[in-house]
Amino acid sequence: MFVAVLAAGCGSTRSATVTVTVAALPTAAAPPADQTIYGRPSSIQLAGGRTLLHFDPAFMTSGITANTAYAAAEGRTCRPLACPPVPNDYFTVDQAHEDLVFVLPAKAFGTVLAQRGGLNGAVPPATRIDGAQLATIVSEGKAPGITLFEPLDSGLWLHLHGDTIRSFAQQYRP
């Protein structure tokens, strides 16, 4: 937007331009095509030639968010900056117990925490598997050649594109 100002004087005319910036109004955003969510797999379903992973999403929180959520779950109140810290530095908030369904391609890839000897308190190694192996673990609790360090109840991170799983990673819980 601009405003022109004309000034008249003794036989001369001058003009000045004033520029005013107007902020644009926000527009509606489309849903994200890619996102990463945390939760627990609940079951596998085969339908129409596709493998469908049923998934219960949750929030894995840390810091002040975890401390206040944990206090609330325990029925205690505290000022956010004064809440005692949670055990293990995180708290999972899972109140809804939803059943979201995602397409799990056989060629999707990810990692699970495999049991191997001699860990001595160390974080277990991540073992790369594909979507077909994950489907077997979810449906049968195990897959050939893979012994999980802890069950998938520890949670999975899913990287999604729309309704399709692109990759996954098992969460370690100390």
Q: What is the pLDDT of residue 52?
A: 97
What does the buried/exposed string (b/e) look like for 119-131 if buried means 16 or more CB atoms within 10 Å of the residue's CB? Answer: eeeeebeebebeb
Span 147-173, pLDDT tens digits: 899 999 999 999 999 999 999 999 988
* Residue 126 forms part of a structural domain: yes
Structural domain boundaries enclosing 128:
33-59+97-170
* Residue 85 forms part of a structural domain: no
| Tally of domains in the chain | 1
Span 31-88, pLDDT tens digits: 778 999 999 999 999 999 999 999 999 999 999 999 999 999 999 999 999 999 998 8
* Residue 78 forms part of a structural domain: no
pTM exceeds cut of 0.85: no
* Residue 8 forms part of a structural domain: no
* Residue 67 forms part of a structural domain: no
* Residue 18 forms part of a structural domain: no
